[in-house]
Structure formats: structure tokens, C-alpha cells
Structure 1
Amino acid sequence: MLLSPFEWTIAKRYLLPGKGEAFIALVASISIGVVMLSVAMLVIVMSVMNGFRAELLDKIVGLNGHAIVQAYGGRLDDWENVLEEVRATPGVVDASPLIEQPLLTSFNGRVEAVLVRGNTDQDIAELGSKVVAGDIARLQAGTNTVAIGSRLAQNIGATVGDTITIINPQGRSTPFGTVPRQVGYTIGAIFEVGIYDYDGSFVVMPMADAQTLLLIGDTVGMIEVTVTDPDEVETILAPVQESLAGRAIVSDWKTINASLFEALQVERVAMAFALSFMVLVAAFNILSSLVMLVRAKTRDIAIMRTMGATRKSLLKIFVTTGFTVGAIGTIAGLILGAVVLFFRQPIVEFIGAVTGQDLWDPQVRFLSTLPARANPVEIALIVLLALALSFLATLYPALKASSTDPVQVLRYE
């Protein structure tokens, strides 16, 4: 909708009310502020929710892959053949054997439940980017060296170089019963994945050492699989599931963490729906400010009509005025949202320090920091929603202004 120089001049005049129109300027400023806050809130909340999902998926997949192939009974005897079959499946990026078993560990009289993981050398090397102390390269088969999570290290008071004892209840049989197997392991590295449950329970060791500890010979517990598209993991691994029917089960990340990701999705949709009403409230503010402007400018409108201004020109002037208010608020909201997201962690820490409350307890939130990941498509939809409602809010006042009868207005002037 192109404006003539006359129309644009009047629109700018109404966007910047004079000294005697301070109240109209205040209402317009409030409208811009409400649009800004509503857009910023939508951007922040949706980005944080997306960040939760993406961070959880990245961290969970970083340890467990997109899916696992687990044998009935917990032991995959012919795992080499199954591994080759999985790797040959179209869409599979990588697959590796894995041993995972819940056991107990003790150190200086402290006992903790742990999840012992036996990994290949390649998987152990990939964990190196998450090491906060020690050297992951020290984990070599036969050296009885392990890596443990940072929270577990804090819980038992252990550090790099200390020796922890891992207890396997399935020990050796004696005339007096079964004696639990207790093996000492030196801590070679401490890692931090960023998920509280993992950092508080995982003990990683070479595959051969895990097989020796669990007395399972040359078998593994499962095979972890990484695919090209995590959202299509079910379709990609359908042939594997069919081939291994009766011998093993394929569980993908959606199934393993179904309750967590479904809860995030429901909360994400609910928050988006609820916060969208803030944009609607902002549109009503634009409508009210324009109605007040039209009432205040009734005499000016009548004069412009007598001087030859058309109804279409007046319609364009007031639509442009209201839409510009919405556009300014939308742009300001995007800037505010970007600033808040950039400084989100310091803001959380500041509020926590002021209130004396731990606003981000990793035991409750799973992640150690507040995540955020902006989705360009969602941000574009938020902008379109704000601009569309701003435009619709201008129609009634603009139509009212364009239908003003100059004869009736100027009769008593």
C-alpha cells in the first residue's frame, strides 16, 4: 500500500503527536511497549522450549545414540553379525556395541548406585570433549582405569588418581554362598555431560574390562545406533526390527524418553497458545489508541475532506499509523528477546542471587544451564502474527475516520 507525499506527511504527523496531545502519545507508547513485550515473551519462551528439546536430544544421543538394539535376556551373543547387519542398513550413520549394567561403587566408606558402561575405544575417545579433569586416553583395556561423572565424583568425594571399588553381586560361588565380586579401578578422567542423572551415575570403562567385571565373556548387552535423521529413526530401523524379531528389540530415543519429550511438547504448545493472547491484547491497545486519535482529529479529518482528501487516503493514513506502531513494537520485541536470550544465564543467576533461591536446580531441570535455540520459522510466524493482528486492529478506526462526514463536523465550527 503505497502512500502519496501528502498521505505520508499526515501519517508521520499523527505518529508524533504534538505537545498538546501528550495523552495520545502516552497511549501509543504503551501500545508499542505491549507489542514489544508480547513478541519478546513469545520469542524467549519458544526458544527456551526448543533449546530444552534440542539439548536433551543432543546430550542423550551423545551417550545412547538415536536407538539401541537390545537382546532379550540382556546378552547379545551373535552381536558381531547383528552389528554388521545394522551398519549395512540404509540411513544408519554408525553403530557400536555397548555394555550397560547397574552396580554399586564404594570409596572411603561411601556407597553409590552407578551405571557401568563398557564402550569401544572410539566411543571413549568421543567422550574426550566432555572431560573436565584427567585424561580420557588413560582408559585402556587391562589397566583397570575408568572415567566417572562429575556429580558422582562430588558425591563420593573422589578425584583423578583415586581408586574406587565396583561391586558386582554376581560374584564367585563358595561353600558359604555367592561372594560379590569387588574390583578396584583407578579414576583416569572425570567428565560432565550436562545431564544431572548421567553425571551422577555413569562409570565408563573399556569394553573388555566391563566383560571381565560382569563375567559375560565375549558378549555385549546392546548395540547403539546413530541415524541420519533422528525424527525418522523408526522408519530407518524398521528392517532391523523385522529381521531381529524374537531375538532382540529396537528401542529409539522417542520410546526410551517418551514421557520427557511428550511433556516438553505439550508444555511448548500450551505456552505458545497462552502467550499468543498477549499479542491479541497488544492489538487491542493499538485499536484503542487509534480510536482516541481519530476522535481527537475529527476536525482535522473534516478539513482534509473539504480540501479534497479522499476516503481512501484517510483509510491509508490511519492504517499506516496503526500498523507502524505494531511494526515498531515487533522489531523492538525481537531485539529485546535476542538480548534476553543472549544474557539468559547471567539473568537467571542474578535473580537467584537477589531472591536467595536456586532457580536452576539441575536435579530438577536435568540440564546444568538454561538452554535456548531460536527457530527461524517460529520467529517468522510470531512476527507475522503480531503484524497481522496490528493490521486488523487498524481497520475499524481507519474505516471510522474515512467515513467522517465533514458537513456534520464543521456545522458548528
Structure 2
Amino acid sequence: MASPAPFSRYEFMIAWRYLRARRAEGGVSVMTWISLIGITLGVMALIATLAVRAGFRAEFVDTILGANAHSTVYYAPSQIYNELTEETYVTPGRIEDYDALAARIAQIPGVTRAVPAVRAQVMARQGDAAGLGDVHGIALDALRGMAGIADPQSAQGNLDDFDQGVAIGIGMARDLGLGVGDRLQLVAPDGAKTPFGTTPRVESFEVVYIFSAGRYDVDQTRIYMPLAAAQSFFNREGQADEIGVFVADPERIDDWTAPLLQAAGERGQIWTWRDASGSFLAALDMEDDVMFLILSILVLIASMNITSGLIMLVKNKGRDIGILRTMGLTEGSVLRVFFLCGAFTGVIGTIAGVVLGVALSLNVDHIMAALNALTGGNAWQPEVRGIYHLTADLRAWDIFRAAALSLVLSFIVTIFPARRAARMNPVEALRYE
């Protein structure tokens, strides 16, 4: 007579019967319940953490790309030797043929826009309040193309009036007490040149637009000014400091480095959004790996409790094992019965953890709002994190690897107690019965 196939129906039936038995009948122990709850919480925490980390990275990258060029082309400073004074002067890398350079860059396949810009630092003042301002002088059409800036739902004022004044971040407007229609005083250190030296240039501009880019540092310091006004204010007549480049796929921005350098010429330099935020993104990736490792250890600890529960179950079911062996069950069948007991615990705990982890990730905004309300807004500090909101990005791969890790660990730790049950001598098991 042929032997039954492995993991036959009767093996599942016996294993499930043992798990459903009452504690007084030698059934599921307290350790098994602890391991089930531990696996559930471990998988839930692992999925929620991975989702939050992915959401934080996605939100961080979106705010970078929404308020900045994907890549910047600029000229390296040049050195000029004066034979009369025998001194070497370093001149900034201004771009005089910026329209022609922008046109050449725009012809590169994959480049969607090339925007000449003037960059400078100023002191922004309103009454007695003052702060540092990072001025970007660009054209109106270029400003419209920045999704993080040209957002009518979060902005105040009319972007069509940009040529008549300046646009500032909501953080600067709050700190300086400014609103649409107020005047902002800008102080530039490189102003008019006189026989007594260079004097600071001071000028007032009307605030026509207040934006919220979603990044604390941008909203706190960023000032957008029309290109012509910036050239006049910062002594850049007929010149630009850089060309902002926007591409179709910002995640592959490095693919455009070589074509951009070729278009810029021998003095050309490239600075991408990855160069500006590469260290922070690398730190996020490292934190993701560390968090996955730490939470994997927690899942392993919870899975190890299955071993304790199964050892107690094997001890309580010694008589049953002896009877089953005398009835013809092989060692392999007994091993599979108790392996299934532990596997059921791991599978049920994993399923429950996945459900709770997904539910927690989908409601992380409400949870953070409640924590902020309880802590007075200290649960999430945008000046530290850089972004205003904590979001979750559920990815199928993260859910799969969390569930797979839990199942694999649960299956592995059941092997030892299951082998112990299979090798039990039926004569010894029934001797004192």
C-alpha cells in the first residue's frame, strides 16, 4: 500500500486539532499566544516603518524637484593676471550668452526646459524684522513651471503680477509680517561702486505672491524676482549666473551630465539635485537598511517564542505521539504535524500583522495629527525634518519582504521541536500510561 503524500489532509487536521485544544487538554500554551501576538506586532511595525520611510523620502524628493531645477549649468570662475600690478584676480563665472546657451541645452533630447537665472544672497527687512533671503531671478514662464511654487491652492496673490514685484515663501512672510501688497526691503552687499568703495544697495519691492513649497528651508528664505529686475539689482546687466535645467525623468538626472557638459563648453560645470541632497538621501537609505535589520530582529525574537510553545506542546502530547506512531504514522508525518502547528502560528500572525500594518500606514496622517494635538505640535517639527507632513507610501515590495521574512523565520524555528517530536520513542512515550 502506497504511503500518503507529505502534508496530507489528516496531518493538517491533527495539527489544527492540537491548536484548538484547550489549555487543560494540553493544547495551545501561553507562549504560543505570546509568539502569535509578537509576530503580529513585529510585522505591523515593519510594514508601517517601511511605508513611512518610503513616504518621507518620496515627499522629500518631491519638494526638492518642485522648487528647484533638476540640474544647474554654470561657469567656473576664471583667473585674470594683471601685468602692471602683477596680481591675479578671480572673476565670477558669469554667463553672458545665456540665451544661446539655454537654447542649445533645450535641444538636448529629454530636456524639457532650460531657464537662465540670477542667484544672490540678500538681507530681507520689514520694519524691525530682518532675515536672510536667497534670491532667484528668473522669468515668469519658468516660475510657472515649478509645481511646488505655482500652486494656487496653497499660495496667496496672483502669479500673473510677478513682473511687478517679488514672490516670497510663506515662512518669510510670517516671520517678517508681510502680506500680498506689502513692500519688502532688500539689502544687497554688492551695490553701487563709489570712489570710497562699494556701498550696499537697498531697494523695496512689492510682494505680489506668497507660496508654500512644502519645504521649511525654502519657504523660510526663498525670494523669486523677475530676471530683468534681478540683473539690474545685482549688477548683472546682460549676464546670468546659471542655467536651470529640467528633464523628463529627474530620477535619471545623471544620464544628462555628459550632454550638458558638451553643450556648456570647456568652462561648464554641472550641479544636480542629487549633488545638493545626495548625502541626505544616502543617510535615508542607510536608515532604511538599519531599521529593517532592527525590526527583523524583533520579528525573529517573536518567532523564537514559537519554539518554546512547541516544546511545551510536544511534552504535553507525548502520549498522543506514542499512539500515533503505533498506529502507523511515520517520523516524517509526526514532524510535519508539529511543523504545521508552528507554521499555523506564523501564518496567522503574519496575516494579522500585514492587515494591521497596512491599516496603520493608511492612517498615519490622522495618527500624527492626534499626536501633534496631544504634544502641542512637538511630535513633528518641520524645521528639523524639512517637510511639513509625514506621509506613508505603501509599496508591494515592502509588504512582500516583511511577510516573507516573518514566514521564513517562523518556518525555520519550528523545525527543531518538530524533529524532537518525530524522534520520540513510542515505547518510552507509553511506558507510564
Counterpart position of 2:301: 281
- Specify the alignment match of 1:107 in structure 2: 126
Query: What SS does the corresponding residue of 2:191 show, helix, strand or coil?
Result: strand
8 Å contact 2:18–2:27 — kept in the other structure? no
What's 2:365 paired with?
A: 345
1:44-63 alignment, distance < 5 Å: 44-63=48-67
How far residue 24 of structure 1 moved from its aligned partner, in angstroms, is 3.2
User: Do structure 1's residue 24 and structure 2's residue 20 form an aligned pair?
Assistant: no
- Residue 336 of structure 2 is aligned to residue 316 of structure 1: yes
- Match runs of 1:7-406 below 5 Å: 7-20=11-24, 24-72=28-76, 73-126=92-145, 127-129=149-151, 132-141=154-163, 143=164, 145-174=165-194, 177-244=197-264, 246-355=266-375, 358-406=378-426
Contact 2:22/2:28, CA 8 A, preserved across alignment: no
* 1:131–1:192 CA contact under 8 A, matched in 2: no
8 Å Cα contact 2:27/2:313 also seen in 1: no
% identical equivalent positions: 34
* Distance (Å, rounded) in 2 between the aligned partners of 1:319 and 1:125: 63
Give the match for residue 85 of structure 2. none
Alpha-carbon distance in structure 2 between the residues aligned to 1:184 and 1:357 = 35
SS at match of 1:9: helix
After superposition, the C-alpha distances for 1:170-216 in whole angstroms (9 at most, x for unaligned) are: 32344665443322222222111121110100111322222232231
Match of 1:115, SS?
strand
8 A Cα contact 2:321 2:429, kept in partner: no
- 1:266–1:124 CA distance, 2 compared to 1 (3 A): same
> Which residue identity is paired with 1:14?
Y
Distance apart, 1:217 and its partner CA: 1.9
Structure 1 counterpart of 2:385, which letter? Answer: R
Output the amino acid matched with 1:370: L
Q: Give the 3 Å change call, closer, same or farther, for CA 321–140 of structure 1 in structure 2.
A: same
Alpha-carbon distance change, 302 to 95 in structure 1, aligned in 2, over 3 angstroms: farther
Provide TM-score, normalisation by structure 2: 0.88
Q: What amino acid does structure 2 have at the position aligned with 1:128? A: A
Listed as ranges, the gaps of 5+ residues in structure 1 are: none
Deviations 1:32-85 (A, max 9, x none): 111112112222222222222222111111122321112222422122232223
Q: After the TM superposition, which segments of 4 or more aligned residues of structure 1 sit over 4 Å from their partners?
A: 174-177
- Tell me the C-alpha RMSD between the 2 structures: 2.3
